[in-house]
């Protein structure tokens, strides 16, 4: 395969809080190690297509995954028009607008997320044309999002979620997660990265897992 100009591929869905936390960790590592990150797409909506949302997920999940799909459509339109390097700032804008805000009593936590005003504001903060918000209501980029979701799963296998991280793509190692519940400081970010990559580069490593010990430490979820 042709080599990539990026050191890391990070596959994200904006509606996943764990992907957001892991992305901030990866950014801390990238800044200290000089890595270039390609922010790519994995859609929870497409990942779970064909599953019975009524039986398999909490009631709000279909709505949340649909909001994520709308934001990813906008991100795909931004990448098409402005290149891959536009996506990091847009993901940051999406993430901050969702997770770095206070919960309002009596208001649906995700009310308005993925709607036109939210999308236009996020685009503006990322320095992108607000007209890209129109892509949320069209399926022009759905095949691309579906294919990119499958590309992510090809690295790890299907029984995973978001995020998926690939180091030294396209032939380097990949992993789902790590699923972390808080954003580390700069020092711990490197310690965690070195631990994860040590495991990931050993060809016999299969899986390390435990149940979640705490909820994601995000302002919205406090």
Residue 198's CB: how many other CB atoms inside 10 A?
10
pLDDT digit string, tens, across residues 48-101: 988 889 888 888 999 999 999 999 999 999 999 999 999 999 999 999 999 998
User: CA angle, 131 as apex, 125 and 135 as ends, to 5°?
Assistant: 105
Predicted TM-score of the model (pTM): 0.94
| 37/216 Cα distance (integer angstroms) | 23
List CB contacts of 193: < 8 A, sequence separation 6 or more: 25, 29, 33
Q: Say whether pLDDT at 160 is over 60.
A: yes
pLDDT digit string, tens, across residues 107-147: 778 999 999 999 999 999 999 999 999 999 999 999 999 99
What is the per-residue pLDDT for 132? 98
Please, what are the domains in the chain?
Answer: 8-221 (3.40.30.10)
For residues 163 and 23, is the Cβ–Cβ distance under 8 A? yes
What is the per-residue pLDDT for 7? 97
| 28/7 Cα distance (integer angstroms) | 14
From residue 189, alpha-carbon distances to 28, 35, 40 in Å are 6, 14, 21
Q: Say whether pLDDT at 194 is over 70.
A: yes
pLDDT digit string, tens, across residues 89-104: 999 999 999 999 888 8
Pairing status of strand 8-12 against strand 164-167 = antiparallel
CA-based nearest residue to 60, from 12, 124, 108 = 108
Average pLDDT of the chain to the nearest whole number: 93
What is the per-residue pLDDT for 222? 77
What is the per-residue pLDDT for 2? 62
């Amino acid at each position: 395969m042709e080599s990539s100009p990026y050191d890391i591929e990070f596959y994200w869905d904006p509606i996943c809080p764990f992907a957001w936390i892991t992305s901030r960790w990866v950014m801390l590592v990238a800044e200290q190690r000089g890595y270039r990150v390609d922010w790519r797409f994995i859609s929870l909506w497409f990942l779970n297509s064909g599953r019975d949302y009524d039986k398999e997920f909490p009631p709000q999940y279909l709505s949340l995954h649909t909001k994520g799909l709308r934001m990813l459509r906008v991100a795909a339109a931004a990448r098409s028009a402005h290149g891959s390097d536009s996506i990091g700032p847009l993901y940051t804008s999406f993430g901050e607008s969702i997770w770095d805000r206070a919960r309002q009593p009596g208001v649906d936590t995700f009310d308005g997320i993925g709607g036109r005003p939210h999308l236009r504001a996020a685009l503006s903060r990322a320095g992108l044309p607000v007209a890209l918000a129109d892509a949320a209501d069209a399926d022009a980029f759905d095949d691309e999002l579906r294919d990119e979701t499958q590309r992510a799963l090809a690295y790890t296998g299907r029984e995973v979620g978001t995020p998926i991280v690939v180091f030294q793509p396209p032939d380097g190692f990949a992993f789902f997660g790590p699923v972390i519940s808080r954003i580390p400081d700069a020092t711990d970010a490197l310690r965690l990265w070195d631990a994860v990559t040590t495991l990931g580069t050993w060809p016999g490593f299969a899986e390390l897992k435990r149940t979640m010990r705490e909820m994601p430490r995000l302002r919205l979820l406090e």
